[in-house]
Structure 1
């Protein structure tokens, strides 16, 4: 029986994450096992397993006499999540840069960046989100560190929940794109540590722009590293 519930759990887990990230499920909203079982046409077992996994990752919280509810994230929580992602993704870029990258890898990275530029020009925010996820995921996948892949993916999922709820992407999309450009240029010059530092600042900058109680960082703190 456990083997049969696992694929169901993953399907339900992924769908609930999507609902939380896209605001179809709002912070503070109660998630009833009975209602979810009816919605997904399954028993409560895979529902319970999916909710436990969501709780481990910080998407939901179990409240006494209430049940499972979608977790609210404070400004401090936003900052902390982004700080963790900034450190992990900065490391991923630096590891990738020190391999060193193959011409094929750099060509793939360039293609990802070109796609993001098109989405930026067309103000295609939905495709930009997906392209941005692929761009950031690329470095962890190519870093040669499987643990880093798992950590960055789980934490970046939490970022997209925050971004979707109060995104400043339409306002700052060109600024975000400039960060990607700077990372690639540093890698092309063989400056792995600089590329990692730019990625770290790029992620932190997004946190400052999204969280209203923090001042935006000025972009282009790296012009002297040509």
Structure 2
């Protein structure tokens, strides 16, 4: 009991910006892992009790998630995890494709060529050295696409791309629950890298678009299945 009291005191003494950030990260993770399902409703009081904090940092964290498009608020019914909007996801994928096609075109034309050594060390490896942990490969996949944009030197493009990546993460990570998709990601990333190095602009644009379109189609299919499974499991608990 003394340990619990000390822990609560420690949380109460936590500076509010740090507390807000911790609650924000916890809620975002709950959404990404379907502990909070799309469509779920909850109150600020419920969250405050769960994270052992006052309503103020909870509201600040939820407002940040609302700006990022993960939750909505209603005067009458409180907060809600936004239901999946597949039309919006498809639009985000379309913008992502435009940005990345422009990036690889520039990378193929740059003088001197871009520095892709970090990406080569991760993706141009023997089959036996490939990672198999889904969340780890998912994070590396995000960085692969972000680093392609960053390698162009256009930081405004990188900022926009990062925002799109954040908004797509909830569905993209589901793509990496399947071993075959993990292996396909290695194969396709290696192909894209080699083609950039060889400065084959039209080929790399074709490979990249096919790569993203395949992920886009697979994510939608897996997400529908995963949501059904998550809701079924929740109803049994």
Q: 1:98 aligns with which of 93, 109, 128?
A: 109
Q: Which residue of 2 aligns with 1:217?
A: none
Q: Which residue of 2 aligns with 1:218?
A: none
Matched, 1:142 2:151: yes
Structure 1 gap segments, 5+ residues each: 214-226
* Deviations 1:30-68 (CA, angstroms, capped at 9, x unpaired): 242122223333332232222122122221122352111
Matched, 1:184 2:193: yes
Q: Distance in 2 between matches of 1:17 and 1:116?
A: 35
Contact 2:93 2:216 in 1 (8 A): yes
Q: Which residue of 2 aligns with 1:112?
A: 122
Q: Distance in 2 between matches of 1:24 and 1:116?
A: 36
Paired residues for 1:43-58 under 5 Å: 43-58=54-69
Q: Which residue of 2 aligns with 1:62?
A: 73
Contact 2:72 2:81 in 1 (8 A): yes
Which one has a bigger Cα radius of gyration?
Answer: 2
Contact 2:36 2:81 in 1 (8 A): yes
C-alpha displacement of 1:148: 2.0
Paired residues for 1:71-220 under 5 Å: 71-100=82-111, 105-114=115-124, 120=130, 123-165=132-174, 169-192=178-201, 194-212=203-221
C-alpha displacement of 1:27: 0.8
Q: 2:33 aligns with which of 22, 28, 47?
A: 22
Higher relative contact order (CA 8 A, sep 6+): 1
C-alpha displacement of 1:169: 3.5
How high is the TM-score relative to the length of structure 2?
0.73
Evaluate the alpha carbon distance shift between residue 155 and residue 33 of structure 1 in structure 2; reply closer, same or farther with a 3 A threshold. same
Contact 1:116 1:131 in 2 (8 A): no
* Matched pairs, number: 208
How high is the TM-score relative to the length of structure 1?
0.76
Evaluate the alpha carbon distance shift between residue 94 and residue 36 of structure 1 in structure 2; reply closer, same or farther with a 3 A threshold. farther
Structure 1 runs (4+) deviating above 6 angstroms are none
Structure 2 gap segments, 5+ residues each: 1-14, 223-237
Q: Distance in 2 between matches of 1:82 and 1:20?
A: 20
Q: Distance in 1 between matches of 2:68 and 2:128?
A: 33
C-alpha displacement of 1:168: 6.1
Evaluate the alpha carbon distance shift between residue 6 and residue 142 of structure 1 in structure 2; reply closer, same or farther with a 3 A threshold. farther
* Deviations 1:95-135 (CA, angstroms, capped at 9, x unpaired): 344334657x2221101214795575x53222211221221
